[in-house]
């Protein structure tokens, strides 16, 4: 009997040894193996069809520090047209506090005076007046066609444009010379508006603002003349205005007919007086 119980204790000792060996193995650090996609799908660890794919967020938008240096650096790095468009596009959706801040910030801002070019008859501002702002096309009425015979070209005729003195091949059907007849800066001075090659001392060959009725100058001159005839002062500003709006006499008509340059100068002065009112 004692031998029987003694034989039964031997497996228990082996089990304890196995458990201790297992504990010893578990105590040792082991590297886990990443399951393959097929194993993960088999074990239910794979992605399901109804799983939403997460899109990584973009980089956060950094706010500009509210300091004069940071704002000055930002504004100077943006082209003027881009800044202008950005402000106009965001004003309709701006909150009330932003609109109040902008109104307070721009309280002393005023648009620059709008000037009128007496050469191309377009309006402009001084800050945007560059070397390519004023452009005048060639004058087709100044074209003269001349027969020159076949001199190696494709036509027996050539067309000379007196406005610039340039000559092109053909009978005017190929268009004027390339480029503009004049390209430069705007001007409000009639004397500086001269540019045509066929201009004379008495005629600059330019259309006046009175002829084109720029800014409805004819009606404004009639109104100024009526105000002057109703009792405008003959001294100071009133005297200068009345001197420009008196009806022309026969002598003035003769002078204006004989000297178109003087006529344009007079009309230019009238234009500036009317626009200054």
Q: What is the average pLDDT across 237-243?
A: 37
DSSP code per residue over 143-166: EEEEE---SSSS-SEEEEETTTTE
Q: For the chain, give the number of residues.
A: 277
pLDDT of the residue at 38: 53
Tokens of 63: 């706010």
pLDDT in tens, 138-185: 999 999 988 887 666 677 788 999 999 999 888 877 788 999 999 999
The b/e string for 51-63 (b: 16+ C-beta within 10 A; e otherwise) is eeeeeeeeeeeee
Least confident of 34-38, 43-47, 72-76, 192-196: 43-47
Share of the chain above pLDDT 70, in %: 59
Return d(Cα 270, Cα 221) in angstroms, integer.
7
pLDDT band at 193 (very low <50, low <70, confident <90, very high): very high
pLDDT in tens, 101-136: 999 999 999 999 999 999 999 999 999 999 999 999
pLDDT band at 226 (very low <50, low <70, confident <90, very high): confident
Average of per-residue pLDDT values in the chain: 74
pLDDT exceeds cutoff 60 at 26: no
Q: Are 180 and 137 in contact (CB under 8 A)?
A: yes
Least confident of 83-97, 110-124, 177-191, 233-247: 233-247
User: Model pTM greater than 0.75?
Assistant: no
Query: In terms of pLDDT, which residue wins out, 264 or 197?
Result: 197
């Amino acid at each position: 009997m004692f031998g029987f119980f003694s034989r039964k204790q031997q497996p228990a000792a082996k089990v304890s040894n196995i458990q201790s060996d297992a504990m010893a193995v578990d105590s040792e650090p082991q590297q886990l193996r990443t399951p393959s996609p097929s194993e993960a799908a088999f074990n239910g660890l794979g992605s399901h069809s109804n799983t939403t794919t997460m899109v990584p967020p973009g980089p956060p938008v950094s706010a500009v520090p509210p300091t004069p240096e940071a704002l000055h650096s930002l504004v100077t790095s943006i082209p003027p047209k881009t800044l202008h468009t950005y402000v106009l596009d965001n004003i309709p959706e701006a909150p009330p506090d932003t609109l109040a801040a902008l109104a307070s910030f721009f309280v002393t801002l005023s648009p620059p005076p709008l000037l009128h070019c007496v050469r191309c008859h377009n309006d402009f501002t001084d800050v945007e007046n560059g070397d390519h702002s004023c452009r005048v096309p060639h004058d087709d009425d100044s074209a003269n066609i001349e027969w020159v015979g076949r001199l190696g070209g494709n036509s027996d005729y050539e067309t000379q444009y007196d406005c610039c003195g340039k000559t092109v091949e053909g009978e005017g059907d190929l268009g004027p010379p390339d480029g503009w007849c004049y390209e430069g800066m705007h001007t409000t001075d009639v004397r500086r508006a001269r540019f045509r090659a066929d201009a004379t001392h008495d005629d600059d060959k330019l259309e006046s603002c009175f002829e084109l009725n720029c800014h409805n100058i004819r009606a404004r001159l009639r109104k100024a003349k009526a105000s002057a005839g109703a009792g405008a002062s003959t001294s100071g500003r009133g005297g200068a205005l009345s001197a420009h709006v008196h009806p022309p006499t026969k002598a003035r008509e003769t002078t204006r007919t004989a000297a178109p340059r003087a006529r344009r100068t007079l009309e230019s002065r009238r234009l500036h007086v009317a626009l200054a009112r």
